[in-house]
Amino acid sequence: MATLNPYISFKSEAAEALEFYRSVLGGTVETMTFDSMGDAMGPVPPEAKGLVMHGSLTLDDGLVLMAADTPPDMGMEYIAPTAGVTVAMTSADPADQPRFADYFAKLSEGGTPAMPFEQAPWGDYFGQFEDKFGVTWMFDVASPASTAS
């Protein structure tokens, strides 16, 4: 079975961000540091050794969010995660509304609000924000009214 997963680039905050997301969404974080790769990627500068070469958060329902740091001394160029990409969490099940409201409230702490999580004109509950790491999130969950139409 194929999957399609968001993969977020950070300067050096991937481990912190993945742990924050895990504290809200649950699941399991796995990370591989640049140092753990040995010389496979060439010499690793001391300041990059503990950075995340590849990390993932796997939620209990199987959803996966991936992340990595971008050490400049290794020839990698950092590109901000909000360059036109949004991490969207959606559900057609109205029973997910309280859970999504909780995720929205906790993940948006310290971030920049764009749209509050509330019932939208099309009937769903919808909201959007940029989190404290600069990642844009969007939540959309059906309401009983939107599933009835």
Per-residue pLDDT of the chain (149 residues; tens, 9 = 90+): 678 899 999 999 999 999 999 999 999 999 999 888 877 777 788 888 899 999 999 999 999 999 999 987 767 777 777 667 899 999 999 999 999 999 999 999 999 999 999 999 999 999 999 999 999 999 999 998 777 65
CB 141 within 8 A of CB 147: no
> Measured between alpha carbons, how far is 86 from 99 in angstroms, rounded to an integer?
19
Instruction: Point out the domain boundary residue: 51, 73, 95.
Output: 73
Compute the distance between CA of residue 141 and CA of residue 143 in angstroms, rounded to an integer. Answer: 7
Residues 55 and 102 occupy one common structural domain: no
Residue linked to tokens 């590109």: 79
Provide the number of structural domains found in the chain.
2
Domain boundaries, position 54: 7-73
Of 73, 104, 127, which residue sits at a domain end?
73
Amino acid 95 reads: A
Query: Which residue type sits at 33?
Result: T
Nearest alpha carbon to residue 46 among 76, 13, 73, 16: 73
